[in-house]
Amino acid sequence: MKIIAHKNEVEITDVADFDLEKIFECGQCFRWNADEFGTYVGVAYGHVARMRRVGESIFISGSLDDFETIWRTYLDLDRDYAEIRKNLAIDDFMQSATDFGAGIRMLRQEKWEALCSFIISQNNNIPRIKTIIEALCREFGDPVDFEGMQYHTFPSAKKLADVSVDSLAPLRCGYRAAYIISAAKAVASRSIDLDTLANSSPCIARTELKKIHGIGDKVADCVMLFGFHMLDAFPIDVWMERAVAEHFGKDFDPSIFSPHAGIAQQYIFYFKRSMGV
């Protein structure tokens, strides 16, 4: 990977397995949106950035320091996904899924944002999840000006711990409002320490996350994969349940993809959802 600093952007070249659309549209995150030219603008870790592809180069707005302290890690740029795809292609189906998903990278998302976002994701579709999260950020996040527009950071657990269910009603998140507040109180009070859990074992992390009202296996595994970057976590929703039953049978064990079962999950999920089968 080569990194070139320009006046207001950083250019990265020679990065294999990097596709902006697949990264931001594969279902792992909800705060990045594309324009008609395929340029994505989003908010992460309190910063707004624009990312675009020109030929073989990716341009990310901001300084070299922004890139090194935020985006390099966030985009997981130092991991060899081509080698991972090769190891996950254990049969014809996985060969197709990994080929189709080439370009996906697992974002290193902020832990609290991932927890809150995947609570909102329960029994929901991606457009509606994004709408609810944007409304949450507009109402309770801090404003950030970028390119003449105003964006908002993701609200802290401390801020949401002090709101009421009624105050979340305009978001139209339904029963999830109580779950959001319960999680916010747990994180703000540190009865659930997300940093500690991220450095614990998957078993401990899942057990502790499920102590939060409204969190079951699927949401816990999503938080572990997308918030804690535990790459062996394997969330199972309707799409995944159908996929693994069809292609691997009822006795499927995700450990066949260890230590990258979570990356395998994303390839399978993106492939099946995109193909609509």
Running along the chain, 277 residues long, what does each successive block of 10 average in pLDDT? 94 94 95 93 97 95 96 97 97 96 97 98 92 97 96 98 95 94 97 97 96 94 97 90 89 94 96 78
Q: Are 152 and 43 in contact (CB under 8 A)?
A: yes
Q: Is 55 left (phi over 0), alpha (psi -120 to 50) or beta?
A: left
H/E run at residue 82: helix 81-88
Instruction: Look at residues 167, 181, 165, 172 and name the one whose alpha carbon lies nearest to residue 214.
Output: 181
Q: Which CATH number fits domain 2-78: 3.30.310.260, 1.10.730.10, 3.30.420.130, 3.40.50.300?
A: 3.30.310.260
Residue 198 is which amino acid?
A
Residue-range domain boundaries for the chain:
2-78, 111-227
Gap between the Cα atoms of 121 and 138, Å rounded: 18
Q: What pLDDT shows up at residue 213?
A: 92
Answer yes or no: same fold for 2-78 and 111-227.
no
pTM across the whole model: 0.94
Domain spanning 111-227, CATH architecture? Orthogonal Bundle (1.10)
